[in-house]
Amino acid sequence: MKGRLIAVLGCATSLVTTALASGYTIIHLRSYSLANLFDGTANGIGSNIGDVAFDGTNLYVAGYHTGSGLQTVGMARISNFYDGSNFLPSNSTLTEAWKVQLQQDGGSRDTRLVYYNGSLYLGTGLGSTNAANTGIRKYDTNGNLDTSWAGDGVLSLSEAGVSRYDTLEIDPGSGGGASLAVGVFGSTIIRRFDLNTGANVGNTGAVSNAPTAVRDITFAPNGDMFYKWNGGQNNAAGVRRFTRTGATTFTDAGNFVTFTEGALQQSTVAYVPVSQAYGHLLDVILYNQRVSGTGKVFVRDVSGNPIAELTGVGPTADNFTPPSGYANTLLNYSHYITSDGRLFIFVVQGGGATGTYIDRLDIYEVVPEPGSLLALGAGTALLGLIRRRRQS
């Protein structure tokens, strides 16, 4: 393990560091425009990029639409994107291997995408109460709809027993047994569905002390839940933490962070298990803000300490400077840990038109600060290696 960490760090120290705090170094690896896919036309998959996933080789992106009424939205796969050590150079034209296009509610109805164990779960038209124009679907990584899931490949509002969907995430469960968790604005009940069949596997009861204005949820590997809410009284908003006590039960652990946000529909939170790659570092939470945090992804460790603010400003590690940092707060993110222990964070920003750098993807890598490894006893050999890399 220690040898692997040294190898990763040795490569990373010559790169551009975008954030540095409390044992973490966050490197801005790559930046790309995806305006060609999110041009708002019938040939695209939305007007704004909304979510991102990665399976270790292929990239998946999904979009929503700001136009009213039925609009073309969907997802696409970008192949030949990562060769096991490097991503395509920044500002490369990313071409889809396939795309899924759906006619779903627009008007900024949300889209969410998660990847798990070889399958993709896509929620579109989220926030709509029109059952025909919203749904959650399961696909394989070639874009084929799993028509056996939920009976016909689509988990409908009536099948889920809800009037709308707002967010979805993989729930690792309590001691195993992952499921698809679905959050609904106006309710503190988390609906849970079998990843293989789409059948309900047990909803939680109303989560005690959870604000009803839920916009997003994320889970720690042990099943604890972080609950992003906004639109409360006086525009109160924040992330609240709930400790897992059973498959369908949680106890309130209090607010993780609070702020003023307003009724932001594209309100997101993500849990990144940094400790699975670097055991001496705490896991982190990513979230966005609308009022006082435009153009930033906020990063805090699970103890609540601020770690970094990701802004999309360059240059990247391959010496590309994006034309601007993040221009708005319509941000979403996911992570991936490779088999050799590298930890990547994928950030997407939506909102723009053809020819702009608004609908964009940025990739960051999390590695330990040199000092944090030395404190563990990695020794003078590592320090010498770091110094040599910096001098080269």
- Is the confidence at residue 219, as pLDDT, over 60? yes
| pLDDT digits 0-9 by tens, 197-211 | 999 999 999 999 999
Does some domain include residue 83? yes
Does some domain include residue 7? no
Does some domain include residue 390? no
**pLDDT score at 27:** 96
User: Comparing 11-25, 96-110, 335-349, which segment has the lowest mean pLDDT?
Assistant: 11-25
Sheet harboring 214-219: ordered strands across? 214-219, 225-229, 236-246, 249-260
User: Comparing 300-309, 329-338, 376-385, which segment has the lowest mean pLDDT?
Assistant: 376-385
* Pairing of the two strands 24-33 and 17-21: antiparallel
Does some domain include residue 317? yes
- Is the confidence at residue 15, as pLDDT, over 70? no
Q: Rounded mean pLDDT of the chain?
A: 88
**pLDDT score at 372:** 55
Does some domain include residue 304? yes
* Residues 311-338, mean pLDDT to the nearest whole number: 95
- Is the confidence at residue 191, as pLDDT, over 90? yes
Burial 126-147 (b: 16+ CB within 10 A, else e): bbbeeeebbbbbbbebebeebe
What is the tally of structural domains in the chain?
1
| pLDDT digits 0-9 by tens, 357-387 | 899 999 999 999 875 554 555 444 443 433 3
Confidence band, pLDDT 50/70/90 cuts, at residue 352: low
Between CA 302 and CA 257 the distance in angstroms is: 11
The sign of the dihedral angle between the CA atoms of 135, 140, 145, 151 is negative
C-alpha 125 chain-centroid distance: 18
Q: Are 75 and 61 in contact (CB under 8 A)?
A: yes
**pLDDT score at 192:** 97
| pLDDT digits 0-9 by tens, 52-94 | 999 999 999 999 999 999 999 999 999 999 999 999 999 999 9
Does some domain include residue 10? no
CATH number at residue 235: 2.120.10.30
pTM comes to 0.90
Higher local confidence (pLDDT), 371 or 178: 178
Nearest to 25 by CA among 368, 370, 389: 368
Domain that holds residue 214: 16-378
Q: Considering the chain, what percentage of its residues have pLDDT values greater than 70?
A: 86
**pLDDT score at 92:** 96
Angle at 270 between CA 79 and CA 335, to 5 degrees: 30
Does some domain include residue 392? no
Higher local confidence (pLDDT), 153 or 355: 153
* DSSP, residue by residue, 219-283: E-TTS-EEEEE---GGGEEEEEEEEEEETTEEEEEEEEEEEE--S-SS--EEEE-GGGT-TTS--
Does some domain include residue 385? no
